[in-house]
Amino acid sequence: MMLRRLLVVAVAGFSLSAGVSTLRPSVVFASGNWNGQDTYHVPISWCAVQGSPAVDNPNVAGDTTTNNILWRRHERPTDNIYVNPTGITFRSAINSFAMQGFSFPPFADPTPTPNTGRLGDLRDIASNPTEFNAMINLCGQAWNGLGRAGVGIMAININLFHNAAGDYLNTVGYGGCVQNAAGACAVPITGRAALADNHYLYPGVPNPNWPPTPGDLNGTKRFTANGQPITDPWDIAAGHAFARAMGLPERLNVFALMMTAPQDNNGDGQADNRNLNAAEVAALRAAAANVPHVETDPQGQFDPGAFVTHEHYDGIAEFDNQPPYLDLSHVTAGLELETNRVFFDQHVLGLLPEEEPMEFWFLLDTDGADFGADPGLLAELGVPETHFEGVELAARVTVQDGVVTLAEVNRYAEGGLFPIDGYSAELLTLVMHPITLPEGEAEAAPIPVSHSVRLELI
Ligand SMILES: [Ca+2]
Ligand SMILES: [Ca+2]
Ligand SMILES: [Ca+2]
Ligand SMILES: [Ca+2]
């Protein structure tokens, strides 16, 4: 049996005690401004792929900049779907930090569309999630460049979704979250969304037809519902994707926001399924409280949410013939403020093989390279060759057949590494859900797209 040593992850300079003392919110007992409860402001970390109209030719309903187009995509569902029924608003992840002068980052399309060579499109996640996983990484790298990766829900604005032949699909978007083994969003919530450009969905935009493809040489197709053209003035597509990113399941009711796809119930050509029932409102509010960097505003005060997290992104495809599951995408470090629970996630770019045991190493340096275990001491523990020095914590997690089969944590003390208690490990899965119009080609089944391994210190 071959044991593949997957990754050595070095998380340097993450100071646990300093994080607690400086980031703990003040405790507030006050009535909020939504039915006497707090309003939750959920940040959206937008990226737009180059080649999508939002980047190349931004022009929707008077908005002519990429920033305004993207900002409007969370403002419309806030105003028209969420704020009154749920007490949830979506806000820019840039605004959250009052980062004046910053823009939502664009990134380059990693894969041209087959047969047309077009840039800005995304391969249908249901049939092949490789390009989606790469786009998540590239968006994260772009946010790392702004110093703010891991804030709220990551949302990627693309041109259109396509199949293997390069033909476009009647799919307006996808939403999902990183799930635990029970199928619920792991907390804090790691939410993801990918959305077709509003050029094709907002009413009144000139030329809403999809560009020509091999299966539609004259470019006559567009988004339709039950065979009729449909537009989406309230951005139900984004509202649905954000709800998925916070764990809300599908609800098969033509008036429900969580219906499989946008619906036109009154025949005016515009999507209008906005309903959220009481159970959905409760679930959304519970989830919103666990989105990283959510803000609440009882009596005009703003408090950060329960978690502080940071994502650090790695390059992709660094080695020839590197399978996605051996390619580290990013690491998340997080802290739950009330409990001091600390966790570290290693996210790879695909799904782990089922039968093969995979070994993940976590190396933590909390106080610099001058103090802690050196490479010789790490080698004695079985750590793969590394130049990482000054390790205070070295952990090994082995995963096989979808479960953690071994986890051990060693702490540096008095010139040696010694096993400790008080930790747990689990395998997590990013699962995406398509928002597909009724005659759409994609399956509505959940789509597992990538794995991550979490080490939690209690
Ligand atoms: Ca592409
Ligand atoms: Ca309608
Ligand atoms: Ca990598
Ligand atoms: Ca150290």
101 sits in the region (left: phi over 0; alpha: psi -120 to 50; else beta) called left
- Reported as a pLDDT band with limits 50, 70 and 90, residue 349 is very high
What is the 109 CA–ligand 1 centroid distance (Å)? 5
What is the 332 CA–ligand 3 centroid distance (Å)? 14
CA distance 351 to 329: 12
What is the 359 CA–ligand 4 centroid distance (Å)? 23
Structure confidence by residue, pLDDT tens digits, 236-264? 999 999 999 999 999 999 999 999 999 99
Q: Please report whether residue 313 resides in a domain.
A: yes
Statement to judge: residues 382 and 401 lie in one domain: yes
What is the 230 CA–ligand 2 centroid distance (Å)? 9
87 CB contacts (<8 Å, ≥6 apart)?
32, 34, 35, 37, 38, 39, 40, 285
Statement to judge: residues 318 and 283 lie in one domain: no
Give the closest ligand to the alpha carbon of residue 366. Answer: 4
Statement to judge: residues 214 and 351 lie in one domain: no
Q: Please report whether residue 46 resides in a domain.
A: yes
Statement to judge: residues 271 and 336 lie in one domain: no
According to DSSP, the residues that pair with 420 across neighbouring strands are 409
What is the 329 CA–ligand 1 centroid distance (Å)? 18
Give the closest ligand to the alpha carbon of residue 232. Answer: 2
Give the closest ligand to the alpha carbon of residue 326. Answer: 3
What is the 158 CA–ligand 1 centroid distance (Å)? 9
**DSSP structural state of residue 125:** T
Q: Please report whether residue 364 resides in a domain.
A: yes
DSSP letters for 174-204:
EEEEEE-TTSSBPSS--EEEEE--GGGTSTT
pLDDT score of 438: 60
CA distance 266 to 251: 19
Statement to judge: residues 289 and 179 lie in one domain: yes
CA distance 268 to 271: 8
Structure confidence by residue, pLDDT tens digits, 32-66? 678 888 899 999 999 999 999 999 999 999 999 99
pLDDT score of 94: 76
Contact between residue 270 and residue 264 where contact means Cβ atoms under 8 Å apart: yes
Statement to judge: residues 443 and 420 lie in one domain: no
Q: Please report whether residue 22 resides in a domain.
A: no
What is the 367 CA–ligand 3 centroid distance (Å)? 25
What is the 372 CA–ligand 4 centroid distance (Å)? 4
What is the 14 CA–ligand 4 centroid distance (Å)? 10
Statement to judge: residues 402 and 314 lie in one domain: yes
Q: Going by DSSP bridges, is the β-strand pair 328-336/307-313 parallel, antiparallel, or unpaired?
A: antiparallel
What is the 184 CA–ligand 1 centroid distance (Å)? 30
Give the closest ligand to the alpha carbon of residue 203. Answer: 2
Statement to judge: residues 146 and 259 lie in one domain: yes
What is the 321 CA–ligand 4 centroid distance (Å)? 34
What is the 340 CA–ligand 1 centroid distance (Å)? 41
Mean pLDDT of the 368-385 span: 94
Give the closest ligand to the alpha carbon of residue 369. Answer: 4
How open is the CA angle 386-331-458, to the nearest 5 degrees? 95
Contact between residue 146 and residue 140 where contact means Cβ atoms under 8 Å apart: no
Contact between residue 126 and residue 435 where contact means Cβ atoms under 8 Å apart: no
CA distance 218 to 151: 41
Structure confidence by residue, pLDDT tens digits, 272-309? 999 999 999 999 999 999 999 999 887 677 787 889 89
pLDDT score of 25: 36
> For residue 121, which of 79, 80, 171, 73 has the smallest C-alpha distance?
171
Give the closest ligand to the alpha carbon of residue 372. Answer: 4
Statement to judge: residues 262 and 352 lie in one domain: no
418 CB contacts (<8 Å, ≥6 apart)?
410, 411
Q: Please report whether residue 109 resides in a domain.
A: yes
Statement to judge: residues 362 and 376 lie in one domain: yes
Q: Beta-carbon neighbour count of residue 169 at 10 Å?
A: 23
Statement to judge: residues 196 and 123 lie in one domain: yes
**DSSP structural state of residue 81:** I
Q: Please report whether residue 311 resides in a domain.
A: yes
- Domain range for 331: 4-14+307-427
Q: Could you tell me how far CA 206 lies from the centroid of its own chain?
A: 31
Give the closest ligand to the alpha carbon of residue 388. Answer: 4
Stretch among 1-15, 155-169, 371-385 having the lowest mean pLDDT: 1-15
What is the 131 CA–ligand 1 centroid distance (Å)? 7
- Reported as a pLDDT band with limits 50, 70 and 90, residue 99 is low
CATH label of the domain that carries residue 167:
3.40.390
The chain-wide mean pLDDT, for the chain, equals 90
293 CB contacts (<8 Å, ≥6 apart)?
43, 93, 96, 150, 151, 152, 304, 305, 307, 308, 309
> For residue 235, which of 191, 269, 277, 203 has the smallest C-alpha distance?
203
Structure tokens at 307: 């978690």
Q: Please report whether residue 21 resides in a domain.
A: no
**Selected residue with higher pLDDT from 91 and 2:** 91
Statement to judge: residues 229 and 147 lie in one domain: yes
Give the closest ligand to the alpha carbon of residue 314. Answer: 3
CA distance 394 to 365: 9
Q: How many domains does the chain have?
A: 2
What is the 272 CA–ligand 2 centroid distance (Å)? 5
pLDDT score of 458: 86
Q: Please report whether residue 26 resides in a domain.
A: no
- Reported as a pLDDT band with limits 50, 70 and 90, residue 421 is very high
417 CB contacts (<8 Å, ≥6 apart)?
373, 377, 378, 380, 381, 391, 394, 410, 411
CA distance 78 to 50: 26
Give the containing element (helix H, strand E) for 70.
helix 66-77
DSSP letters for 386-407:
-----BSEEEEEEEETTEEEEE
According to DSSP, the residues that pair with 403 across neighbouring strands are 400
